[in-house]
Amino acid sequence: MLKNKKIIVTGGAGFLGKHLVKKLVERGISKENIFIPRFHDYDLRKQDDIKRMFSDFKADIVIHLAAKVGGIGFNRENPGELFYDNIMMGVQLMEQARLNNIEKFVAIGTICAYPKFTPVPFKEENLWDGYPEETNAPYGLAKKMLLVQAQAYRQQYGFNSIFLLPVNLYGPGDNFNPESSHVIPALIKKCVDAKDKITVWGSGNASREFIYVEDAAEAIVLATEKYNKPEPINIGAGFEITIRDLVRKIAELTEFKGKIEWDSSKPDGQPRRMLDVSKAKKEFGFNAKTSFDEGLKKTIEWYKNEN
């Protein structure tokens, strides 16, 4: 289905984007038919830049990965920026895609869109059953509005837009900047760089689910090829691990022998996170293939080689 299509991948030069573009090329799409807007050329928060992008590249499909993201600390310090940048990018991009008769718009949401207290595993139908966890609610809600927009546009204009909800990603090429990184790269950096002790935020009791970046990229490509319905779809690996067990595992794999201190004055974030991933399997045959240990080893190896 995708072979002769012209595809815009926003965020295509980023962590997930690079893996996604590689998957598209493996599907037989020529690099000339994949357009990656760069921020210095197209600021996707600005309508005029988006219009110019669609004028410069006549696309059939848009896969919207671009987002401003970060860990708990970054979310606490920049809630307004995270809300504004993400909502402006998404809402204007989808509107201009509609006006340019784009065949399909693939919107990437976030697990942060789920209510703070959601029965585990999270099912797509629970998405509106409460307010998201406070530290990342502005980001989660900005992304969630793309689902509202996608469904409204499908209803009024017959516009084909789908909405995917991935869990936290990890893998080679992740963001290891301590100011803005998520938990896995932050912990890997601490354990590899530290000499005698590391400090970890929270109590360690919260749980998380993670998906290896190559698996997430494959899921998005499969959904782009095969899924054309209004309902949101979870993208995950279908397991959960407590932060305490995650720290132990990363310490073991990096051979960190020092002391682990917990800073309980810092927030845990959402108490538990694990997705029900049965719909992705049913609708477009997706199953995460990379085991967690294998994915962590590859990520640690990449970080050590780069530093």
Q: Please name the residues in contact with 81: beta carbons below 8 A apart, sequence gap of 6 or more.
A: 68
Between strands 233-235 and 161-166, the pairing is parallel
Which tens digit of pLDDT belongs to each residue from 107-160?
Answer: 999 999 999 999 999 999 999 999 999 999 999 999 999 999 999 999 999 999
Query: Which of 114, 139, 212, 303 is an active site residue?
Result: 139
Q: Which fold has domain 7-170+210-238+272-289?
A: Rossmann fold (3.40.50)
Q: Please name the residues in contact with 44: beta carbons below 8 A apart, sequence gap of 6 or more.
A: 10, 37, 50, 53, 66, 88, 89, 92, 93
| Amino acid 211: pLDDT | 98
DSSP labels, 102-141: -SEEEEE--GGGSBSS-PSSBPGGGTTSSPBPGGGHHHHH
Distance separating alpha carbons of residues 21 and 12, to the nearest angstrom: 7
Asked if 20 and 9 touch (Cβ cutoff 8 Å), the reply is yes
β partners of residue 169: 211
Which tens digit of pLDDT belongs to each residue from 45-97?
Answer: 999 999 999 999 999 999 999 999 888 888 899 999 999 999 999 999 999 99
Biggest CA–CA distance in the chain, Å, is: 60
Q: Which pTM was predicted?
A: 0.95
Distances (CA, A) of 94 to 102, 113, 160, 173, 297: 9, 19, 11, 28, 38
| Amino acid 152: pLDDT | 98
Distance separating alpha carbons of residues 268 and 46, to the nearest angstrom: 35
Q: Report whether pLDDT(178) > 90.
A: no
| Amino acid 155: pLDDT | 98
157 is catalytic: no
Between strands 61-64 and 161-166, the pairing is unpaired
β partners of residue 207: 242
Q: Report whether pLDDT(257) > 90.
A: yes
| Amino acid 181: pLDDT | 87
Which tens digit of pLDDT belongs to each residue from 206-231?
Answer: 999 999 999 999 999 999 999 999 99
Which tens digit of pLDDT belongs to each residue from 1-24?
Answer: 799 999 999 999 999 999 999 999
| Amino acid 307: pLDDT | 85
Q: So where are the chain's domains?
A: 7-170+210-238+272-289
